[in-house]
Structure formats: structure tokens, C-alpha cells
Structure 1
Amino acid sequence: MATSSRNCDRPVFRFAPSPNGRLHLGHAFSALMNERLAKRFGGRLLLRIEDIDVARCRPEFEQGIHEDLAWLGIRFDAAIRRQSEHFDDYRAALDRLQAKALIYPCFCSRGQIMRAAELKETETGQPWPRDPDGAPLYPGTCRCLPPHEAGKRVASGEAHVLRLAMGRAAAENGGEVRYRLFDEAGRVTRVAAAPALWGDVVLARKDVPTSYHLAVVVDDALQGVTHVVRGRDLEAATDIHLMLQHLLDLPTPRYHFHRLLQDETGQKLAKSRMSEGLAELRAHGITAADIRARLGFA
């Protein structure tokens, strides 16, 4: 897979929101942190629209993203990349993994996986292992299906996902996977990843030929991203990204995980909880300078 060339070796940062709602203060903090570090390290800042979820992403939300970022005064370099326009790139990555026999079709629903985990817990009296997000690990039901049977079910149009065979992937990768963690002063430490904690993760679905994990890895490589700055809630997922980068022979950026903003109940700000958006704050007379000062970016 070809990757974009580095721009005179300047660092490349990116802010990558999803247009499934309006931006809130947590997004503003992440965007401003990317802006700060890009300037501090003499780098470029790119904007990516992560809109692979075609059911929830809407044009009016993308327009809102542009309005909010322009209001904050953040400027981006180069053209915007929209994931929905690059499904062929993700299919190509899946084809590479398929050629190595590292992915397989899975026909189990979330409900079936949950029930299988509960049954095992009842039988053994022990808790079924869960991934870092708290979901039960996939028990591998479809991992050993005969290829002809799996192919016949896929060809018939049966609903399925494509999973990474984590055991085979680990053997293919070989050895310990590490990545570089950097702080705001530029100091770097090496951190060991543990992708096996996620089990056989989903990399694509029947209706969408990718997942967040696969798309973000491919996008970062194609956009020449060298520094990824995002919230601590994505720190554990980075282990999957490291594994995919190694399997696809893609460069590994440096990573920085910033703090998460919380509401008065102590929960992180989120669209799903209808956290107050930047547009609402703007309508109440709050200025961009107020937001920058409030978040520590005056």
C-alpha cells in the first residue's frame, strides 16, 4: 500500500471528528490540543471527516463541524479527507489481510455472542473474559468454519462481519509490539501494546467495508500522519492499530493521549449524552476567546 510522502519531514497532525452530531467542548479541547502541538513542533494540521457510519452521519452535521472549527479559529492544511469517499482503500487493505489468511467471516450476532458468554459463565462459574471496552470477547465460533461453507454463506448474502484472527496475526507479527508515546514537551517513551486483549476484533461489516480500527490506520498512512493526538478513551484501541500497522507494513505514528472533559456528574462529554454543543454555547453569547481561555488555550 502506497503512503503519502512526508512534507519536507515536517510533523503531520490531524483532527478527525465524525459528523454524527455537533461538536462539544471535548471536541474543541482535542482540536485545540492538536493545533497547539502542531504549532509547537512546526508541523501541519489536517482535517479528516470520519463518516463511515453512513446511517448516523449527515451532511448538516459535517457543515456544523466546519462552522464550529472556523469559529474557534482553527486552520487546516491541505484537502479534507472524507472516509466515505475512500472505501476502495479499505477494501485493498482487507484484501492484503485476506491474502495472508488473517481475516475470516463471522455470522454471529452480538446477542449470540453475549448469550454464549453467559452460558460459559454459568457452566464454569468463572467470568468470561472481556475486552478493554467491557464487551465479552468473541469465543471463536466461526473461526474454524470450513472455507467452502463460509464462502457459501457469504455468497448467499447472509449477514456477517470480517474478524481479525488475532492468534494468527500475533504469530505473523512476531515479538512484542511497541509504540512511541510523546508528551507536550516532545519527550518520547516506548510503550508495549497488548492487542490480544481485544480478541478477534471486527474489521469490516457486510454493509460497510471497514471499521474504525482499519480505516484510521489506512488513513493515517495515506495522509502521512506522524503524530496522533486524541483522548485517553482511545488509548487501549491503539494496541489494535499497532497490530494492523505491522501486518500491513504501514508506518507507526507517535501518540499522545490527552485528558477527557467531564460533565457535572463526572461522565465524559459525549454526543450520546447530549452534551452541550459549541453551537449552543455560541448562541448564548460565548465567544471563541472564552472557549480557548476556559480550556487553557488562551
Structure 2
Amino acid sequence: MIIDCHIHCGLGNSELLTESGITYKNTVETMIQLVKIYKQKGIQALRDGGDVSGVGIILRAISKDSGLIYRTPIRAFYKKGLYGDFLGEHLENTKDGIRKMDALMKETPDFIKIILTGIMSFNEYGVSGAIGLSQGECTAIIDHAHQSGLSVMVHANSPKGIMMALTSGADTIEHGYGIDDDCLHAMRESNVVWVPTLAPFANIAKCSDENPMKKYRKVSERYFRQHQQQVKKANAMGVNIALGSDSGATLVAHGQGTLDELGYLLDCGLTEEKLESIGKRVIDF
């Protein structure tokens, strides 16, 4: 059973976009096609990372009769003024975050998604976007989700951001670029699941000369190789690792991106059996 624990169904679908925004008709047709694509690739379950449109609600409804298991946070939460505007709603402070989470819960998300840090810089290797929430804000928001019976996936890069997510009670760490040994030990001790998303940088690193992303191949190769070594180390330590492709991101195609990620993780020494086991745990959170 192939389970992808991190996709974005609302990204990577240019046919969704019109001059007036996203149309319901086009969205339904596109989500039906996505289900077909994933099923044709032999992928049985998906966990979304959300987007500002909240299109995951439509895919969730379609998937119920398709045999494809699908979970969505609908929209993610990020700190106002920082990275994440295309993925969901901004938060100004703890009170605002709890209020907006309560409003989102009326749409019955399967879990909560928090964007704690930015992405890794393509221009300066190793530099991550700013941490958006304070330790107190992050802890309070995660606690509120847990009290409401929902798990929390946290987008976090850099040692400081990852450690804050871990100590705040995150259930899964998404991406985790720049992760260090202290974070790996904390992750193992807390039994948190890491979803390392190797495919985005790996696929950019091997793109063709005709691709506009070719100017980022060298830095992407560095990110991929460093991340690959940390995944190998984490696996040897007994850290829980799940497959998550970040499909919908640049050069990570829906369906094929999942198989790309599977290949990268197998190269790191993980097994399909272990990935299935951890994936089921994540999907069932």
C-alpha cells in the first residue's frame, strides 16, 4: 500500500485557474482527474497540506466513492506577513489563531496544519525563512487542536524551527530541512513522525537545461544530498519516517511525484513495509 502523507491537491493544476479565480466546475473535474491519476499509479491514500482555496473539501467528497483514502486540513495556518499566503489563513496572535481554528472546525478538517517557518532559500544555501510563531503561540494553538481531537502537522525547517515544533507538541514534522542530531534524538524520543519531502529539491537538481529551474540545480543538489544523509541517519536511529512527496510543488507532478519520493526513500534504506506502517499511522491520526 503506497501512502503519500504530504501533497497539495490545489497546486500544480493550472486548469483550475481562471481570470475570476477558481471555478467550482473546473475544480470538480480536476479533482476527479487527480483521483484517476493517483489510482493509476497504484497510490491508495493521500494526506493533503492544504491551500488557500480549500479545494480539499471537494477532493474529500469525491474520494469517498473512489476507493482512495484522503485526509485534508482544508487550509493551513501561518503567521501574518510571512510565508504561507497561498496555503491558507494568516494568524495574528494566539487568540486570533484559536478563533480561526474554531471557525475552520465547522468545515470538519481531518487535522490541523501549521506553517511555522518559511522555505529554504534558493539563493543562500542553508538559510530558512523566519519562524512565524513564538513558542507560547505554537504550543497554545497545538494544544487547542489536540483538545478538539485533531492532530497537527507542522511545516518546519531549521534546527530552531524544528525543535520548537517538537517541544510544542507537533504530531508530524513536514520537510525538516537543516535538521540536526539534537532534533533527530528529540524526534525519536517523542515518537513524532518526520515527513522529509525529498522530491522537490531532488527533482529540481536533475531537471533539464531547458527547464527555467535549472539555475537552482546546484543549490538544490546540496539540499537533497544533505537531507538524504539525515534521512539515512534518522532511519538507522529508529525515527518514524513517512513518505510525503509535496506533490503540486514545482517539478513534483501529482502521481509520479509520489513514486519519485518512494524511490528516494528506498535509496535511503527505508523499506516499503515500514513506510506503509508509518503511513497508516499518520493517515489514521
- Fold shared per TM-score above 0.5: no
| Rg (Cα) greater in structure | 1
Q: Point out which structure has higher relative CO (alpha carbons under 8 A, 6+ apart).
A: 1
